Chains A and B, each alone.
Chain A
Amino acid sequence: MGHTLAEKILAAKCDQDEVYPGEFINARVDVALASELSGVLAIEEFEKIKGARVREPEKVVFVMDHFTPAKDIKSAQIVKRCRDFARKHGIRFYDVGRAGIQHVLLPEQGIVVPGDLVAGADSHTCTYGFLGAFGTGIGSTDAAAAMALGEVWLKVPESIKFVYHGRPPKWVGGKDLILHTIGDIGVAGARYQAMEFTGEAVPHLSMASRFSMANMAIEAGAMAGLFAADEVTRAFVRQRGDREGLYFESDPDAEYAAVYEYDVTQMEPFIAAPFLPSNVKPVSELAGLEIDQVVIGMCTNGNLADLRAAAEVLKGRKIHPHVRAVIVPGTQKVYLDALREGLIEIFVDANCSVTTPTCGPCLGGHMGVLAEGERCVSTSNRNFHGRMGHIESEVYLANPYVAAASAITGVITSPDEVMN
């Protein structure tokens, strides 16, 4: 029997010829990851382990991204704790001004490459599947154990195959494909499984589009969301570091728990309405709904290509007087590239606020928290009750084109309407 991409990566990480879905394994971790929020909990757990030291400091990465620059004394204390721990143990540490949002940062720095196993104390660690790495979210206790042992225990997931046919039309990107998919299968549709994204649409998807898709695999309950690394991936990786990585692909006779096929040619941009990422509707269905805020960027759509998309719509326009728009580049490098390309100027001209890279608004932490009754179009990945602020606020998940177009009109709007 053949094996899926997920099975092949995991087999390589536990030195077995093959692994099967349902099997429990102890796998070697290539990168163990934490933010300040999960990191500080992992440190607490780690320090409870008698005789523990960080086994491979070069494989442990702490990225300060959730409440940074420190939004209050508490977050300052938390970051300091992480900083002190990182210095003491010699682990990789990314602080304000040198960092960005962890999932955008690590591939950009060449820290994660195809074929890696990334265990991150952040649920969106599944993002690394966009370049053919197996990334999965773990708990803080897991993270402590991973630091001490360099291993993580896993149950090998079944895989589900998603086949995307055709070439996506204008305004439709990876974000729309994944929203459509989650809308179809539901928030538990890929529970404890690996989503494998395939089909002739894939070569047409930019790395940023693939990023958005893998990033939201967790919103369907998946353990990982994977693309087989291809030439587009290889080009991306080579520009960023020395590590080559391992290029796996699924066998033709690999077994899948399910196969879903979608025609992307007729798709229009989608929006996930409150309060679940699976509550997905075409943008046309929600058009005209008044909004108060737009947030563009963060991890799901925080790459340069995403900012370019937003800038394409915002260029030469002003956002609606009743609307606030916050642009959050994924990393310092994305910020700088956007600056050099003139994108930041476009945003500022349009009356958008541009912030330092941070997860802040997405989880209602800081830099754009919503008040009671406010409605926000966001390019982030979650729209649960109170996710971005007050429990009575609403979040609509969309791609950067839709978010930018809606910022201009003050109501949910298809980019077509603004651009034509």
Chain B
Amino acid sequence: MTYEPTHQMTIGELLATQAAKYGQRPFLRLGNDRITYAEAERQANALTAGLRRLGLEAGDRLAVLLPNLPEYVLALFAAAKVGLILVPINVRRHETEVAARLEKTRPRALLTFSDPDNFHGVDHLALARRLQADLPDLERVIAVGSAEWADLLGSAAVPPAPTTRLEDTAVIAHTLGSSGQPRGAMLTHGGLARNAAAVAQILAATPDDVFLGAVPFSNAFGITPTILAGAIAGAELVCLPRYRPGDALRLIREASVTIHHGVPTMFSLELNHPDFDPAACRMRTGIMSGAPCPPELVRRVREEMGCQLLLAYGLTEASPGVTITRFDDGPVTAVETVGRPHEGIELKVVDEQGRDLPPGAEGELCVRGYNVMKGYWDDPEATAEAIDSDGWLRTGDLAVIDPDGPARIVGRKDEVINRGGFKVYPGPVEMVLRSHPGVKEAAVVSIPDLIYGEISCACVVKRPSADFSEGDLLNFAAEHLADYARPDRVLFFDALPRRGGGPVWKEYLRERVRIHGTAWKFGQNIDTDAIIPARRCNTADPRELALYCMEDADAEFVNNMSRGDLIVADANFGCGSSREVAPLTIKAAGVSAVIAKSFARIFFRNAINIGLPILECPEAVDRIQEGDRVEVEPAAGVIRNLTRDETYRAQPFPDFLQRIIDRGGLLAYVEDRLAQEA
């Protein structure tokens, strides 16, 4: 079966065509409610008329703050029929994140829902109405199921023939820039439809297939290979409004799901769920993507779910599909690579300077083709950074393209940890850690280090009944990893921070990790002047200097300095030197923060000036015991003792001090100030 004609269709035309072809076949299912293709087309047309009646015109934005509901799918097609640009927003986003996306895209209407019981107590309708007050362009906020919604669908008007073109923007899908600000990728009708058709073709999807709508419909993984590919195949799509592994398994069983896409975590949760029953699983295929896919997990899914799982690589800016494995791939390609590019999509790998690299070389993956976004909404600067004049999209992912075709993703360009010249890729390290039987989740991030430049920190969530120590995990890692790739530190978390249910929020994690450690109670003052020791030992090595600089009390200090410590000083803490030697040494040793009853004058300044958080809090010093796990938020002046479940208050840092810390030191802060003035 081929789906070529859909390359030439807008998303609005697509549904009309499929309704004509598959009229009475089921399209959307929620629980026991089913909507056929014909009914979906009728409702989408009614919604189209309703949206027109609201005064919305082609090019206007329609925001959708909806979970995986049939109404979302109807809105996607109706918007396309009017020529509106759909702005989907993940319902798990925080209010401020929703606000940022709305402020940027200025939609005239927003479709949402209200179901606080099932969505962590968040009433999205109330949230949207609150935000509406500050959004002058947002004329209408309508909840599905409300009287207004019924009114919107009440019109039976037949829409005029669409004037939308393939190159028009259909969806603004948000992604995050390197500093965490949202960017709206403008994805076209033609790009999305052709990409979806390519996926449907590779999956060999037919009207007999049942897709599981598990990945969020609000992102490109949910739109293209799930909703659109399903529609192109004439298949049924089972909606799962809120992902829970048990619910997913129930649907797989009861709705006879044959195609299930997901991120690796979803598959892992399902395989390890007590309700998982291989005999009840009729899955035929599906795509695992969105995060590094551990080969062990891929093999398990293929064996235990009895399906031909495919692996794919994509990104929002590429609509999203770029590469995918195929059913006839050999075992290595199928399990250890992300496959070859879709037809009509070119790949290349470039070095730091943007020069093309030969096959087999590692570099930044670049993509060119019909699927590449038009650009970022209202952000020509970011667009120019992302897409060069020849149309190549820089992905920020590091890849190797094997000489015989398939690509391997080795890591994120901005996540590679340069540990004293050795490159550590978090992905493979995370995979090894996750293969430990007691580990539920793991993420590896970098921590600045004065000796190595950067060191790695593994952030680990244990399985509920698991009992193992940091040392056990490091021993385990040592069996599977090169010495430089082994984590320098291990921190245990209850959960890893994620944004909107997406991948682990590493920027935030890095920030957390920087000021999180095991308390080391150190009682004595560190004093004396650095000039003399520096001269005496004739060295610039901070550790060696420390031995001289911090004489007396300080031999103890140096001998006890171990990575991951957070110093809790019983009394005064500091060094009289006007040089930064002492705090630099402490920071170099991996100390992430200092808490003390009080500080020597210059030490305090110098610590802040090199970006070492240092807080004065006698209560914390009294309460924290050696070995306690402690977390510090300097801006709030909050010190949390995770071991004792206590919180202490230090003097909060004013904005400018926090900025100095955040920027890693005074010089960067000065640069910011000068830039502002300029």
On whether A123 and B670 interact (CB within 8 A), knowing A138-B605, A188-B600, A363-B532, the answer reads no
Q: Does A382 touch B at the CB level, under 8 Å?
A: yes
Given contacts A49-B674, A148-B674, A387-B532, contact A191 B598 (CB under 8 A): yes
Tell me how far the C-beta of B551 lies from the nearest C-beta in chain A, rounded to whole angstroms.
Answer: 6
B576 to chain A, nearest CB (A): 6
Other-chain contact of B670, A41, A52, A385 (Cβ < 8 Å): A52
Asked if B384 is at the interface (CB within 8 A of a chain A CB), the reply is: no
User: Across the interface, do A140 and B579 meet the contact criterion of CB distance under 8 Å?
Assistant: yes
Stretch at the interface among B388-396, B427-435, B522-530: B522-530
Given contact pairs A24-B654, A123-B578, A188-B525, A141 touches B666 in the complex (Cβ within 8 A) = yes
B404 in the interface, Cβ–Cβ < 8 Å?
Answer: no
- Using an 8 Å CB-CB cutoff, how does the interface string of B83-112 with A read, 1 for contact, 0 for none? 000000000000000000000000000000
In the complex, which residues of chain A have a beta carbon less than 8 angstroms from the beta carbon of B651? 22
> A84-92, A215-223, A303-311: which lies at the B interface?
A215-223
Contact between A364 and B532 (Cβ–Cβ < 8 Å)?
A: yes
In the complex, A142 has a CB within 8 A of chain B:
yes
User: Which of A45, A138, A385 meets B667, CB within 8 Å?
Assistant: A45
- Binary interface encoding of chain B residues 569-583 relative to chain A, with 1 for a CB under 8 A from any of its CBs, else 0: 001100011111000
For A157, give the chain B residue with the smallest CB separation: B601
Instruction: Find B602's partner among A137, A365, A384, A391 (CB 8 Å cutoff).
Output: A137
A148 / chain B contacts, CB cutoff of 8 Å: 670, 674
Selected from B525, B577, B666, the residue in CB contact (under 8 A) with A145 is: B666
Asked whether any CB of chain B lies closer than 8 Å to the CB of A139, the reply is yes
A340 at interface, CB cutoff 8 A: no
- Return the contact of A222 from the options B601, B671, B678 (Cβ within 8 A): B601
Taking a contact as CB atoms under 8 Å apart, the answer to whether A191 and B656 are in contact is: no
A384-401, CB under 8 A of B: which get 1 and which 0? 111100010000000000
* Separation of A153 and B608 alpha carbons in the complex (Å): 10
B531-567 interface bits toward A, Cβ cutoff 8 Å, 1 = contact, 0 = none: 1100110000000000000011000000000000000
Task: Choose from B527, B531, B604, B656 the contact partner of A192 (Cβ within 8 Å).
Answer: B604
Give a binary string over B650-670; 1 marks a CB under 8 Å from any A CB, 0 the rest.
010110110010000111011
A141 and B606 contacting across the interface, CB-CB below 8 Å: yes
Q: How far is the CB of A286 from the nearest CB of chain B, in Å?
A: 22
Q: Which residues of chain B are near A49, meaning CB under 8 Å?
A: 667, 670-671, 674
Complexed CA–CA distance, A148 and B531 (Å): 25
Q: A140-B580, A141-B609 are in contact. Are A24 and B653 (CB under 8 A)?
A: yes
CB A280 to nearest CB in B, in angstroms, measures 17
User: Which B residues are in CB contact (< 8 Å) with A364?
Assistant: 532, 535
CA distance in complex: A276, B669 (Å): 37
Task: Evaluate contact between B666 and A142: CB separation under 8 angstroms.
Answer: yes
- Residues of A within 8 Å of B675, CB to CB, are 50-51
Residues of A within 8 A of B528 (CB): 384-385
Chain B residues with CB under 8 A of A26: 656
The CA of A414 and the CA of B536, in the complex, are separated in Å by 34
33-60 of chain A: CB within 8 A of chain B: 37-38, 41, 45, 48-52
User: How big is the A interface, by class?
Assistant: 35 or more
B298 within 8 A of A: no
- The answer to whether the Cβ of A121 comes within 8 Å of any Cβ in the partner chain is yes
Judge whether B599 is part of the interface by a CB distance below 8 angstroms. Answer: yes
Measured in the bound complex, the distance between the Cα atoms of B657 and A26 in whole Å is 10
Name the CB-closest residue of A to B652: A24
* Chain A, Cβ-Cβ closest to B534: A37
Closest beta carbon of chain A to B298's beta carbon, Å: 46
Bound-complex Cα distance A145 to B604 (A):
16
Chain A residues with CB under 8 A of B599 = 191-192
Q: Does A122 contact B (CB under 8 A)?
A: yes
A144: Cβ under 8 A from any B Cβ: yes
Could you tell me the distance in whole angstroms from the C-beta of A372 to the nearest C-beta in chain B? 13
The verdict on B40 contacting chain A, using a C-beta distance below 8 Å, is: no
A260 to chain B, nearest CB (A): 18
**Is B673 an interface residue, CB under 8 A from the partner?**
yes
Query: Which residues does chain B contribute within 8 Å of A38, judged by CB atoms?
Result: 578-579
Tell me whether A145 and B670 are in contact in the complex, defined as CB-CB below 8 angstroms, given that A139-B602, A221-B600 are known contacts: yes
Within 8 Å CB of A387, what residues of B?
Answer: 529, 532
- A370 close to chain B: CB less than 8 A: no
Would you give the shortest CB distance from A305 to chain B, in whole angstroms? 27
- Report the Cα distance A281→B535, complex, angstroms: 30
Q: Which residue of B lies closest to A388 (CB)?
A: B532
Q: B-facing mask of A356-380, CB < 8 A → 1, else 0?
A: 0000000111000000000000000
Which residue in chain A gives the minimum CB-CB distance to B651? A22
| A187 within 8 Å of B (CB atoms) | yes
- New A-B contacts (11) at CB < 8 Å, excluding given A188-B571, A221-B600, A364-B535: A45-B667, A48-B667, A123-B529, A136-B601, A141-B606, A141-B665, A188-B600, A191-B598, A218-B576, A218-B601, A384-B532
By Cβ-Cβ distance, the 10 closest A-B pairs, closest first, are A139-B606, A141-B609, A24-B654, A145-B670, A188-B572, A223-B601, A192-B601, A145-B666, A384-B528, A51-B674
11 contacts between A and B (CB under 8 A): A24-B654, A49-B670, A123-B529, A137-B578, A138-B605, A139-B578, A139-B579, A141-B665, A141-B666, A145-B666, A155-B604
